[in-house]
């Protein structure tokens, strides 16, 4: 395949994934139809099947596509250069639910689907580990800088992300908590759990 054809194939695949994410956010994974994805990407149904052999493969790839975009944005926001506390706050802000950001709708839907789809269960676990690893790295950096005290960064990251996930469900599904309040609670918990003493996470 020539480089031009290869690039065209990559653009087509990306357009299909963008359309699949949009449809999944609007309709949910269970109700996603290949015809809707094809229409959204302005391609034929056959071309969707050419890139993704099964509907489940498309759903898994769509979640990865959306999540990896969020990870790239978070990596850029938490790049080295800033202090560990600032990087921690940027991470928490990126992870917390936010009005107009659809990522949590996909995640919550994907977890439900993962109960019956081994492929979806595997990709959600893989992506959760990627977020966890990034937070561990930031916590370890904070310990090295002496701005926090944490004997087990991996367990601390698990606790912080568990709270963040619960708050996201309250905010996204039940809408019983405002996103700003959820982020404030997450910052306060992280400050306490990481023993920041008189320091704080966030403004």
Which residues in 35-74 are b (16+ Cβ under 10 Å) and which e?
A: ebbbebbebeeebbeebbeebeebbbbbbbbbbeebbeeb
What would the pLDDT profile of 32-55 be if each residue is shown by its tens digit?
999 999 999 999 999 999 999 999
Q: Measure the CA–CA gap between 34 and 16, rounded to whole angstroms.
A: 10
Asked if the model's pLDDT at residue 56 lies above 90, the reply is yes
pTM exceeding the 0.85 threshold for the entire prediction: yes
Whether 134 contacts 164, CB under 8 Å:
no
- Give CA separation, 202 vs 21, 68, 108, in Å: 31, 25, 26
Q: Measure the CA–CA gap between 109 and 49, rounded to whole angstroms.
A: 23
Kindly report the length of the chain: 203
What is the reported pLDDT for 99? 67
3-state SS, 115-139, equals: CCCHHHHHHHHHHHHHHHHHHHHHH
Asked if the model's pLDDT at residue 199 lies above 80, the reply is no
**Domain architecture of the chain: domains with CATH:** 1-53 (1.10.10.60), 63-203 (1.10.357.10)
Whether 168 contacts 96, CB under 8 Å:
yes
What would the pLDDT profile of 177-189 be if each residue is shown by its tens digit?
888 999 999 999 9
What is the reported pLDDT for 200? 60
């Amino acid at each position: 395949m020539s480089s031009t054809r290869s690039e065209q194939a990559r653009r087509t695949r990306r357009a299909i994934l963008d359309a699949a994410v949009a449809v999944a956010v609007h309709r949910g994974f269970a109700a996603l139809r290949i015809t809707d994805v094809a229409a959204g990407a302005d391609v034929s149904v056959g071309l969707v099947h050419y890139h993704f052999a099964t509907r489940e493969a498309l759903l898994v790839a769509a979640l990865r596509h959306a999540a990896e975009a969020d990870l790239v944005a978070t990596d850029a926001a938490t790049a080295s250069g800033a202090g560990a506390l600032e990087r921690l706050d940027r991470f928490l802000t990126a992870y917390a639910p936010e009005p107009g950001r659809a990522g949590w709708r996909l995640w919550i839907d994907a977890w439900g689907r993962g109960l019956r789809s081994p492929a979806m269960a595997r990709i959600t676990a893989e992506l959760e580990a990627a977020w966890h690893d990034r937070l561990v790295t930031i916590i370890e950096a904070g310990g090295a800088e002496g701005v926090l005290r944490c004997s087990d960064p991996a367990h601390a990251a698990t606790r912080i992300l568990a709270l963040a996930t619960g708050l996201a469900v309250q905010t996204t599904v039940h809408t019983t908590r405002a996103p700003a309040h959820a982020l404030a609670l997450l910052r306060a918990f992280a400050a306490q759990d990481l023993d920041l003493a008189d320091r704080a996470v966030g403004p």
